[in-house]
Structure 1
């Protein structure tokens, strides 16, 4: 009998403190395909579909490809939007009469009006329609790992790396486990340890790099199929907030239990070492001014990272840079469709009085009035994130004075790569300071051109100082808000029987 594989992806990350809703327009302008994503080059969240299709065809399976929908993080997804995207996936599944294997690439931190756990809701609906199928889901590590997700799915894994440059191996891992499970070669059993921690964890160096290596080492032990750490998405006031450690063992509940608990408690015990104190805006600019080098200092405007649901139009860093009269600065991307429209109407070479940024909410600060020359206008450009190009919308290069360059665009997106500046004509090697609106995805490409990279705890909707946000649900009960949080423990999940005990 030929196996039938059904696959789809749906991804957005919800900052519940953000006032901007995530509507269908957010998916339409960023990425929305109806069963055709694998006909195009992959991006971070569609790479899994390419891997799964290739694997299934190599096995001689039938493949049904459904929705691929990605939106830049913002506030709550509107109920009609979530309902429409969910129903498209379910309708496609019903139209082909179900499947033997269902593989989904979801984010894990999508929150909609009236639905706090969107991914769990989708998985439960898939399980109801395919009670005997093997259901696997790959999640971003900034997910809320919920009981509903683990109850409905047989296999749950997350990215291990941030930035997420391990999308391909994680997709391959999930496919292999699903294949082995449907053939009766393995009997996965999942356990989840709730670490009761709220944090922002970078995996490329230091203690977190060691933890990732330890996770891989655990997977080499007999009986352990997969190990994942859900970091949680910190800017969401939801019940299931916080870091959770997931272990999948082969038919051995005790092994999964003890491994999850042992490593989870070890992670909790390292919480102070894992916590990074980022410099304030003033401190970071002092460091940048003190640095004398032929290469630029790169400053990350963490608080206004649209990839974490911030508006992308905050003016705090720009205002301080202009106030200090720092020479040789490039800053971007500032999301301001109004300024883009004015510049497009005026054309390249025009000198304009513009009111930039600060339009969305209190998290954005106040607008800044500038006199600037329109150096270049361009559309259709992209920047690399992993294997694919991420769109940049319509971009405008503005010059203030003789050597302060701003990039303004009409599509909310964080900065990933120096090419966002360079392809517009801004020579970063000639700059003293390069300020990017991002948290960590920018790091490796910009580190290659910088004398120093400083991640800055700027104000904004994605500030790494979590005390700036009012948590009323799960977050208020986690470390660091509570010194010794109650509730550390293991969720006992029996994936093969789709039941859960807490």
Structure 2
């Protein structure tokens, strides 16, 4: 048995001014055949899980290129076509194969391609023919297009947000693949369009219970091979944006369609209740400073590099400085130029420095001050579940008693290890200011005495009812009150 695997992934915020070229992939992950590390990088887990299963079960796994770029704006057309054609050429050279197993994100948009994953899957289908198994795992913050569904045998998505289950879902993917090739099952996809766009953290109700029930249904009903919620990605202005349910059954399409619709309408009935309320920067700082014990985590939820923003907004930091907050650590503010200046100055230097708020309107004003360069680290990394996430060359600076990490590779604040990497003990801080919508919760909740979700500035299109979409569906909540009427 011969199986081909590869990964091509990023998340495209079509409103972001930060374009992606090949250098962005090289900074995060670009691994040609045979060079992918044993540790997965979110969407590349099908490669590492497949590698282990091939050793254990004795099938041949042909690895193609794995490429991941941290979320940003449009992908350069030549970059997408180069990576796509690289993988297609590797597949063509590997033929014949019994199946293709991919790691995709699902929210890519490239210059000239509103549906790159659909384009890739269709071209793969042309190469392997109509009967060969083609499947992929997806990030739930993606767009489930008809083109992708039509070109795939089946698709499934991570269930958790934070995405702590990317390895577990890759194992689900491979279980269905191997059972299919052993003629034990015949996977069939049913899809229901919820006609809504929302944010669905599984770290709280009602989404926690919804996901738990989906997993119970998978365990209890032998007809159900997989259930997934495609959350959608509100910063991706594409025609098929929105929340959808995938039910993969063992050749029971009518049952699958009924299950998908029932789950989808239940989700729709709870619209607008999933994401916690957010304070503005003034309320957030006052509440954090009033706490008797720490660390209090302030999450700058919309300046999230994991959603394609720069991660350089200074609105909350400026408010902390204005109110004289102490015992604060900030992780991180993206400013490659400021990092270069600190690197040139060296550890222990006292220098004038301007940093932050360079990327776009709505991110605040640059911070000016005389800073102390405390620690400099090349090629910094933090933990995220079973993976390691690079955040580039980094500088720990101190300004007015506040410890600030400047980084050169954009990455959201996944884990407290980002502070430890620069010599800061996060557990000894009164306030931790981080940039993440909800991925931080799995790890930071273990050390936080309180978590404050803060909406500051306008770095991200976070209100679909008001966002100036040009391509997204009109008949979708909250753009209309009842899209199922």
Measured against the shorter chain, the TM-score band is over 0.9
The answer to whether the aligner puts 1:254 opposite 2:254 as a matched pair is yes
Cα shift at 1:463: 5.6
- Which residue pairs with 2:291 in the alignment? 291
How do residues 69-468 of structure 1 correspond to structure 2 at under 5 angstroms?
69-131=67-129, 132-219=131-218, 220-293=220-293, 295-401=294-400, 403-462=401-460, 464-466=462-464
Partner-residue secondary structure (3-state), 1:274: coil
Cα shift at 1:204: 2.0
Partner-residue secondary structure (3-state), 2:392: coil
* Deviation digits for residues 462-497 of structure 1 (CA, Å, limit 9, x no counterpart): 3644456312222543212210115x8xxxxxxxxx
Cα shift at 1:207: 0.7
* Deviation digits for residues 56-100 of structure 1 (CA, Å, limit 9, x no counterpart): 343322211001101010000010000000001100011122411
Retained in 1: the 8 A contact 2:299–2:452? yes
Retained in 2: the 8 A contact 1:309–1:461? no
Going from structure 1 to structure 2, the CA distance change for 1:167 and 1:286 (only over 3 Å counts) comes to same
Runs of 4+ in structure 1 off by over 6 angstroms are none
Give, in whole Å, the separation in 2 of the partners of 1:194 and 1:238: 15
* Deviation digits for residues 390-417 of structure 1 (CA, Å, limit 9, x no counterpart): 112111111112x211110111111111
Partner-residue secondary structure (3-state), 2:67: strand
Unaligned 5+ segments in structure 1 are 489-502
- Which residue pairs with 1:491 in the alignment? none
Give, in whole Å, the separation in 1 of the partners of 2:226 and 2:412: 31
Give, in whole Å, the separation in 2 of the partners of 1:337 and 1:350: 18
- Of residues 42-51 and 80-89 in structure 1, the stretch that sits farther from structure 2 once superposed is 42-51
Give, in whole Å, the separation in 1 of the partners of 2:339 and 2:296: 27
Give, in whole Å, the separation in 1 of the partners of 2:133 and 2:427: 52
Retained in 1: the 8 A contact 2:276–2:453? no
Cα shift at 1:47: 2.3
Cα shift at 1:222: 3.4
Give the paired residue count.
483
* Deviation digits for residues 273-303 of structure 1 (CA, Å, limit 9, x no counterpart): 324322222221221122111x221101112
Going from structure 1 to structure 2, the CA distance change for 1:458 and 1:475 (only over 3 Å counts) comes to farther
Q: 2:42 aligns with which of 41, 44, 63?
A: 44
TM-score scaled by length of structure 2: 0.96
Give, in whole Å, the separation in 1 of the partners of 2:95 and 2:54: 18
Partner-residue secondary structure (3-state), 1:68: strand
Give, in whole Å, the separation in 2 of the partners of 1:6 and 1:209: 34
Partner-residue secondary structure (3-state), 2:337: helix
- Of residues 425-434 and 112-121 in structure 1, the stretch that sits farther from structure 2 once superposed is 425-434
Give, in whole Å, the separation in 2 of the partners of 1:125 and 1:463: 32
Partner-residue secondary structure (3-state), 1:193: strand
Retained in 2: the 8 A contact 1:98–1:129? no
Give, in whole Å, the separation in 1 of the partners of 2:365 and 2:466: 18
Q: 1:63 aligns with which of 50, 53, 61?
A: 61
Retained in 1: the 8 A contact 2:10–2:105? yes
Cα shift at 1:460: 3.6
Give, in whole Å, the separation in 2 of the partners of 1:456 and 1:427: 23
Going from structure 1 to structure 2, the CA distance change for 1:440 and 1:274 (only over 3 Å counts) comes to closer
Report the RMSD for the aligned CA atoms in angstroms: 1.6
Cα shift at 1:355: 1.1
